[in-house]
Structure 1
Amino acid sequence: MKYFVTVQASQADYDAMEGKDSPFPGWSRDEIAAMVAFMNDLNAELTASGELLDGQGFTAPAQARFVTGSPGREPVVTDRPYADTEVLTAGYWLLECSGLDRVTQIASRITQCPVPAGSPEYPVVIRPIGEAPSA
């Protein structure tokens, strides 16, 4: 079964990592290196097990673009229609696992990624990928 596993962050989290003013603790170079090493090790293990189909981290929410519209209306494009503290998807893994128990084990491990003390805690979200209905 395939699963879409996501981690979350806000613009304030990205700002803290970049040393900008943020309500969250700033990240040191060592803390960033520890996070990157953790993610690289996890991805290597998931690749070796054959479970990792894809995984990517996203840029800061401030770089996002939102396009809204409906049939018969001109689409509206905006850069930042949300508060800077709104939590959005920060990255994802597309996994093929034996079942929900296995992907939950992986998500539980992701929650152990090192972060500075006092950083916000966000859930790791698991979404099973459904099959398209037959025509």
Structure 2
Amino acid sequence: MKYLVMVQGTQADYEGMRGKASAHSPAWSEQELQAMYAYMGAINDDLAETGELIDGQGLAEPARTRLVARGADGKAEITDGPYGETKELLAGYWVLECASLERVTEIAERVARCPQPAGAADHPVVIRPILDGAGDICPTD
């Protein structure tokens, strides 16, 4: 089965990774940032080696986000970031093909142990099965 594994973050997290501390995130040192990149890179390498990795990407900071919604008049309303420091958004993801929910949960547990500086927020790692077809939206079993 395919799964979407998501990590979340806030604008404050991205600012902290650039060395700018706030009430919501400590400043990351270059060593801490490199340790995080190395850790995530090792996960990507391992998943590619096992054949479970379909895709995985880190995403740009929330301040570079654009929302497009339908307004009351039916026309598009476009809003650019930045967003509040405490609003969590998708920071990165993997699309994985795993034999079981237990296996993808093991991977998510590994992701959750990513090194970070003391005081950094522990955001959950979210697992969502990817539906294979329209019949999967409302399964009968």
What are structure 1's unaligned runs of at least 5 residues?
Answer: none
SS of 2:57's partner is: strand
Deviations 1:13-47 (A, max 9, x none): 00111122422111000000000000111000000
Q: 1:30 to 1:82 in 2, by over 3 A?
A: closer
1:48 and 2:49 equivalent? yes
1:71 Cα deviation after fit: 9.6
> Once the two structures are superposed, what CA deviation does each residue of 1:41-62 show, in whole Å capped at 9, x if it has no partner?
1000000000000000001100
CA distance in 1, matches of 2:82, 2:26: 25
Q: What is residue 103 of structure 1 aligned with on the other side? A: 104
* C-alpha contact 2:62 2:83 (8 A) present in aligned 1: no
The verdict on how the C-alpha distance between 1:35 and 1:111 changes in structure 2, with shifts beyond 3 A counting, is same
Q: How many residues align?
A: 134
Distance in 1, matches of 2:124 and 2:31, equals 24
For 2:82 and 2:133, locate their aligned partners in 1 and report how far apart those are by CA, in whole Å.
32
Amino acid across the alignment from 2:125? V
Which letter maps to 1:8? Q
- Taking every aligned residue pair, what percent have the same amino acid on both sides? 50
RMSD value, Cα: 1.6
The secondary structure found in structure 1 opposite 2:134 is coil
1:123 Cα deviation after fit: 0.6
**Counterpart of 2:26 in structure 1: which amino acid?**
P
Question: Is this contact kept in 1: 2:62–2:82, CA < 8 A?
Answer: no
Spell out structure 1 runs of 4+ moving beyond 6 A.
none
Task: Return the TM-score normalized by structure 2.
Answer: 0.90
SS at match of 1:117: coil
Measure the CA separation in 1 of the matches of 2:44 and 2:84: 32
The equivalent residue for 1:6 is 6
Aligned pairs for 1:33-44 within 5 A: 33-44=34-45
Contact 2:11–2:83 (8 Å) recurs in 1: no
Q: 3-state SS of the aligned residue for 2:110?
A: helix
SS at match of 1:30: helix
Contact 1:13 1:22 in 2 (8 A): no
21-30 or 38-47, larger mean C-alpha shift: 21-30
Residue 118 in structure 1 maps to residue 110 in structure 2: no
After TM superposition, the score normalised by the length of structure 1 is 0.93
In 2, distance between residues paired with 1:9 and 1:72? 33
